[in-house]
Structure 1
Amino acid sequence: MSNRRVVFVVGSGRSGTSTMSGTLQTLGLHVPQPEVVADSTNPKGFGEPQWVVDLHQELLGRSGVQVSDARPRAWLEAGKLSADHATRERVISWLESQFADGGDELVIKDPRAAWFMGLWRASAERCDATSSFVTMLRPPTEVVGSKKKYYDQRQGDVTRTAAWVNMMLHTERATRGEARRFVRYADLLADWTQPVFALGEAFDLHSVKTAMAGDIAQVHKFIDPSLRRVTLTWDDVEVPASLRDLAEETWQTLDGLATEGGDTAEAHAHSDQLRVAYDEMYADAEAFAHSTTLAARREGSIATRRELEAAGATRPGPAPAGRRADRVPHAVRAMVPESARRGLRKALNRQRGRED
């Protein structure tokens, strides 16, 4: 039996995933190098391999999925790439090189990884490695508040809360039946030894089970409870009552999974019910917002047409439609659906024929 192990640290960003990854690294697991460089949002470091982050950003771009995507169907779009043979071979080759360079026990952490767990699980299996998953848990209000403080300000509380529900319920479903543990961020900060050494036993991690006193002392220095800088409640997060209630029930269900003996069939069934409820809630929201979506498309088409007309006016004669479109800023073109752009190109070609 192979001694190779890969621990995937998953869950929503700003939930303590970096602290967990850094702790396992300090105890002897290998975080593939180079790592994402620490910054003011994470002064202790991210514990993320840069190659993994770059891969996930590429795959998210190809699938049209955001890091924090509230759409239930985003899982289907991202999942299609998990079965892509060429992508899987890239991951297998990279994993093999990491086992060769870093030893038999790896820790891979990136909040984007949740979208591609099928890809990683299958690739690890091809490398004759055992996969295990640790999902970090933090109250949704604190996650939303932390992202609001440190990340893109264009997303509001509603979108961030919905994205948290979507991410966490599907992460639970995707790891079900695997070697997994749920760890509360608060427990990790209060006394990291209990959840981490429990992981070592559950996942049969040699580095953790044989950690020396010096390694343990270094983890004590590494973990800084003061970095839990955002502690909001629902009074601080502006979301509709229905979404608030669903998010709170999701949190309570996941929190129960972190309790010894709490990862039960009953809890799984409740999680499934919540996921169905969220899908229905999101479908209702899309139906309500349909007119707004159509209006945004019309506005985008109008803006593109004006840009094209302005671009054409600067030339001494008619220009090919494709070259006119090239002069429109990418940000403007990206707002317009492909079907609308095709229609606009046809109209411009007809206009060109009349001018000629």
Structure 2
Amino acid sequence: MSSRRVVFVVGSGRSGTSTMAGALKTLGLHVPQPEVVADATNPKGFGEPRWVVDLHDELLKRSGVQVSDARPRAWLDSGTTSGDHATRERVATWLEGELAAHDELVIKDPRAAWFLGLWRACAERCDATPSFVTMLRPVTEVVGSKQKYYDAGQGDVTRTAAWVNMMLHTERATRGEQRRFVRYADLLTDWTQPVFAIGEAFDLAAVKTAMAVDIAEVHRFIDPSLRRVTLTWDDVAVPSRLRELAEETWEVLDGLADEGGDTAKAHARCDELRAAYLEQYAEAEAFAHSSVLAARRAGEASAAHAPTSRASDRVPHAVRAMVPPGARQRIRKVLHRERP
């Protein structure tokens, strides 16, 4: 049996994914280099391979999908984009190069949730066992943290809906795989419990044989004060129906982190909640349709009153220069644009 392992740390951004990746890295798993550099939003570091983040940004742009996207159909769009042969070849080649140097990798990026099928297929192609750690943090804290550290382009409603959409899909996409759900609060309280449980469950040699010096380094790395945002529903303004759906989603996901909690009954409840979210989102789209049409009409009206450019002005100068002078004169005459 191959000793190759790839641990994917997934879940919503601001849920403790960086802390988990950093702990596994400190114990000996390899984070492909170079990494995204630390900044004020994450002073301990992100634990994200730069190559992976750039790949995901490229695929999301091609898909027309945001990192935090509330649309249920966004999963279809991202899956279609990442399913092409060229992309799989590219990812498998990169992954094989990393595994040739290190048997146990940890790959973390909140964007990865959109491309779990791609990564699973490429890991298996490289004769590596893929495993998934999904970090859990109450939705109000996630929304509050994003309010504080990210741009204000999305409001509480969109962020909450995007959390429900991403977390329920991540649960479904990792079902049947080697996986563990870890509460961020548990990681900060006593990291040894969830991390060493992961080491046993995923058969990670680096974790199972960690030296005392490595364990001490993780103790220094994990700082309980990292949980700097602790909001409640009193601080997050969302419609009551969305709040109820988010609360129910948190309740079932939170139960998956319990020993023996990853059950068929919990899976069925997640399926029910995904269906409820799909229905609720469809209703919201139907209600907002008039606003969408009004915005489209306003855009068309603005374009109609904007100065129009001549067709020839939109042709690059280098292309126009390739047209023989005589031909250019005849074209100007036809367009009634003869030069004096």
Common fold: TM-score over 0.5: yes
What CA distance in whole angstroms lies between the structure 2 residues aligned with 1:189 and 1:208? 18
What CA distance in whole angstroms lies between the structure 2 residues aligned with 1:176 and 1:97? 28
SS, match of residue 246 in structure 2: helix
What CA distance in whole angstroms lies between the structure 1 residues aligned with 2:138 and 2:230? 9
- Which deviates further from its counterpart, 84-93 or 299-308? 299-308
Q: Kindly report which structure 2 residues correspond to 1:104-115, keeping only aligned pairs within 5 A, or say none.
A: 104-115=103-114
Paired residue for 1:169? 168
SS, match of residue 296 in structure 1: helix
Structure 1: 5+ residue stretches without partners: 313-318, 325-351
SS, match of residue 56 in structure 2: helix
Letter in 2 for 1:2: S
Paired residue for 1:183? 182
Paired residue for 1:320? 311
Paired residue for 2:93? 93
What CA distance in whole angstroms lies between the structure 2 residues aligned with 1:52 and 1:130? 18
Per the TM alignment, residue 81 of structure 1 is displaced from its structure 2 partner at its CA by 2.2
Per the TM alignment, residue 252 of structure 1 is displaced from its structure 2 partner at its CA by 0.3
For normalisation by structure 1, the TM-score amounts to 0.88
Once the two structures are superposed, residues 302-341 of structure 1 have per-residue CA deviations (whole angstroms, 9 ceiling, x without a partner) of 22233344xx4xxxxxx117729xxxxxxxxxxxxxxxxx
Paired residue for 1:334? none
Contact 2:8 2:108 in 1 (8 A): yes
Once the two structures are superposed, residues 173-211 of structure 1 have per-residue CA deviations (whole angstroms, 9 ceiling, x without a partner) of 000000000000000000000000000000000000000
Letter in 2 for 1:51: W
What CA distance in whole angstroms lies between the structure 1 residues aligned with 2:43 and 2:166? 25
Paired residue for 1:340? none
Aligned residues: 320
Paired residue for 1:336? none
What CA distance in whole angstroms lies between the structure 2 residues aligned with 1:212 and 1:262? 31
Per the TM alignment, residue 123 of structure 1 is displaced from its structure 2 partner at its CA by 0.4
Letter in 2 for 1:187: D
SS, match of residue 306 in structure 2: helix
Structure 2: 5+ residue stretches without partners: 316-333
What CA distance in whole angstroms lies between the structure 2 residues aligned with 1:214 and 1:306? 69
Paired residue for 1:342? none
Paired residue for 2:249? 250
Q: Percent identity?
A: 77
What CA distance in whole angstroms lies between the structure 1 residues aligned with 2:74 and 2:96? 29
Runs of 4+ more than 4 Å apart: 352-356
- Which deviates further from its counterpart, 25-34 or 294-303? 294-303
What CA distance in whole angstroms lies between the structure 2 residues aligned with 1:135 and 1:355? 65
RMSD: 1.6
Letter in 1 for 2:241: S
SS, match of residue 131 in structure 2: strand
Paired residue for 2:285? 286
Per the TM alignment, residue 152 of structure 1 is displaced from its structure 2 partner at its CA by 1.3
Q: Which is bigger in relative contact order (C-alpha 8 A, separation at least 6)?
A: 2
For normalisation by structure 2, the TM-score amounts to 0.92
SS, match of residue 72 in structure 1: coil
What CA distance in whole angstroms lies between the structure 1 residues aligned with 2:90 and 2:194? 33
Once the two structures are superposed, residues 22-61 of structure 1 have per-residue CA deviations (whole angstroms, 9 ceiling, x without a partner) of 0000000000000000000000000000000000000000
SS, match of residue 289 in structure 1: helix
| CA radius of gyration, larger in | 2
What CA distance in whole angstroms lies between the structure 1 residues aligned with 2:231 and 2:313? 51
Paired residue for 1:80? 80
Contact 2:59 2:82 in 1 (8 A): no
Paired residue for 1:43? 43
Per the TM alignment, residue 353 of structure 1 is displaced from its structure 2 partner at its CA by 8.0
Letter in 2 for 1:16: G
Change (3 A) 1:322 1:202: farther
